[in-house]
Structure 1
């Protein structure tokens, strides 16, 4: 444990040797279960201090209970979202929008962007989403009786939907996925290089859409007004980068964890095959059990929160994968019950910053599962292979080789 990383105001008894980045189960592990590993924090205190719980090695308070996380995420005056997570990698300080804006500015941009990802808009996108899933799965089943699900399905499917939304073709899909992996999971040098590349790309795309408008997201952003004025370059950049990065990893990873679970649980696989109407409910349970994102807030003032002496500037972690395994919130939280009702999970966060793209993400996951199960016979993890899982700011899975020979 890095004891010198613990600030003086943190009582020694509140320090715990746990990290979503450096704990053993968070390392790249064959057949690992990082979600089950983080669930063990519920055996300890409801709030503790982790000396190293961000990608750059900073300490955070860790909020374990779902009800405490909800309370904290609602209180935007005390717990700010502004961290310049992306910009700080470049030595700059500007927010991802609307994720890193606090009210009232947050509300202005959120209401500007909400219609673009509303349930109505997602419904209009659904035929294209289903068509993409069908095309990829048919291509996989026609050529083999096994595949690397992340490379052959999850990433090409999720990222291509997002690129279409941004108004981009699939031509550079592998390049974009590579940027995303370097940004979210690479070391310092790779991360900075990826951040620079993504930023240059977004700036270039915005400049192009100013000259040649199209019916796409970036054209909407460069033409939009907020408070009666056009958006500033930095605001366009903050929106573009967030949407680009958010679309590169999270949905693909959710699909990967879901298919890994079904590959290991043939009874549940058969249940969803024989009763496809259950897939929507099942997808919610899998979102709960395999949540992938940690949210960080920064204290704007000194506060005693549930016995924790949080001081202005302290980082506070609200990890979805911890809240969604809370035994006070979910009966038998480590049991995956595809028929679980009233599933108040926070896989898409909570409060004003609840994920803007949640409606689209949900439909993508459900459609992908439906089409996979209707087209691929009983599948399992290929003998002699093992998926690799890892923790971090966004949990991940790779080398998921499924076989249905």
Structure 2
């Protein structure tokens, strides 16, 4: 047991033999590292037991049970009666406990809000956005190509592309795009000073936008929200805030990170890059494999009662971690799980979670990723990571990549 583990509070009901020296925040490969591969680092837990207790596996240093097998994660994620999603991840930064909606609601309330929101991000709605998504990708990439033969792909493409599309969905212009991205970075990756400050700023923005749309509604998401009804009543101010915060934050980081990890992989693997250029019809399937290999989110549930789960004495109030980057490298689920095979079929990855809380925006996210790759490969010649540079990848609650300098000179 390391000094950090011994210093952490390990509940009395956790057998010492079930404590593991692992954290998505502090284990080797998780800190920001040049040329790091935090997803591969997380997958090393498959050499150990199928479930163990990690004393420091949340942003605030709390312990979680870690579920390593994909089939066991699905059992947890499909059982909201035993494993609640109400953690108040965002509100906890302010010492509060209100939920982001519908992510942190349990059935039956979850179903009512999910039914309300599903049409906004349905496949049909996403198809209607397709031309705007492709146009935005094309404009950004053409601008990059005209400016030279290298770029910081996260700053110049991935974030401006993904965030612009989401802001357009929310009915917002992107003249504050850099500011919004900074808020998200501080919230998701910042310290104990940055996180609360970002949370307060985002709440003030969402509350202000809601008030503005109540006075002057337009054809956008927030106007829909302040006029919507659930259970035949208008949404409360807290419900509007909880829903607005979730969709605002969810659109600012994860899709951009996915595109970054994908382009970093293709930069390092020229044979696969050439394959997708020669056969662009393969990009849809390839994007699924890259989602499997480079997911970004850890899902945590809270036990609502005492339960013995696969030999682990989980007790009411315990945190249970279902990290997508662990499940997606499960050798029992995926043959040769650490090998990235862009032709892999029957790909039951959980990059968008599983069960009733499966990602509401998964249809839009998939199309953004596929279109981003299609247009990048169509417009930018053979690219590689620029000599003398190294992208910085890191773990945490949401995995990320930065300083990804691509070169095609």
- Please give the range of the TM-score, normalised by the shorter of the 2 chains: over 0.9
Counterpart secondary structure, 1:248? coil
Once the two structures are superposed, the pairs formed by residues 204-353 of structure 1 within 5 Å of their partners are 204-353=208-357
Aligned pair count reads 405
1:123 is aligned to 2:138: no
Residue from 15, 19, 22 that aligns with 2:23: 19
Residue 40 of structure 1: SS of its match in structure 2? Answer: helix
Q: Superposed, which structure 2 residues align to 1:2-401 within 5 Å?
A: 2-3=5-6, 4-401=8-405
Does the CA-based 8 Å contact 2:82-2:305 persist in structure 1?
yes
Once superposed, what is the RMSD of the aligned Cα atoms?
A: 0.5
**CA offsets, 1:120-172, max 9 Å, x none?**
00000000000000000000001110000000000000000000000000100
CA contact (8 A) 2:28 2:41 kept: no
Q: Deviations over 1:238-280 (max 9, x none)?
A: 0000000000000000000000000000000000001000000
TM-score by length of 2: 0.99
SS in 2 for 1:24: coil
**Which sections of structure 1, spanning at least 5 residues, go unmatched?**
none
The unaligned stretches of length 5 or more in structure 2 are none
Q: Aligned equivalents of 2:307 and 2:344: distance in 1?
A: 36
Deviations 1:315-340 (A, max 9, x none): 00000000000000000010000000
**3-state SS of 1:199 partner:** helix
| In structure 1, C-alpha distance between the alignment counterparts of 2:269 and 2:248, rounded to whole Å | 34
In structure 2, C-alpha distance between the alignment counterparts of 1:288 and 1:215, rounded to whole Å: 35
Residues 163, 251 of structure 2: 8 Å contact kept? yes
